[in-house]
Amino acid sequence: MRRAAVLRNGELVGLLIKESPKQYRFVYDEAWLNDPTKPSISLTLPKVQKEFVSDHLFPFFFNMLSEGVNLKLQARRLQIDENDFFSLLLQTSTTDTIGAVTLKEL
């Protein structure tokens, strides 16, 4: 099992967990849920007190990855299989992302 903290502008939003190659979970942090001023991170991951489960990496997080030749170059440079999207996400979304969301492996 691999886990990552999901941060928005440096604040903990929730956890992204890869249970197995075909099972992913996302859950909002309790403090984020209880603050009415904090938004959901995506329309597909509404701010509700439940665990989201998927058999593939959630589209919101998948869309944080590079595409095409850039993905191939990053995978080669980082020595990660280009189909290992979770590992690529953890390595490429720690600081400089498009938007306010970053991830930090736990």
* pLDDT at position 80: 92
Give the SS3 label for residue 10.
coil
pLDDT at 70: 85
Please name the residue that has the structure tokens 């058999």: 55
**CB–CB of 75/67 below 8 Å?**
no
- In the chain, which residues have pLDDT < 70? none
Give pLDDT, residue 45: 95
CB-CB neighbours of 53 under 10 Å:
13
The confidence score (pLDDT) of residue 35 equals 96
Can you tell me the distance from the alpha carbon of 99 to that of 90, in angstroms, rounded to the nearest whole number?
Answer: 16
Q: Which residues contact 31 (CB under 8 A, 6 or more apart)?
A: 12
Strands 11-20 and 101-105: unpaired
According to DSSP, the β-strands at 23-28 and 51-54 are antiparallel
The model's pTM is 0.88
Q: Where are the domains of the chain?
A: 2-101
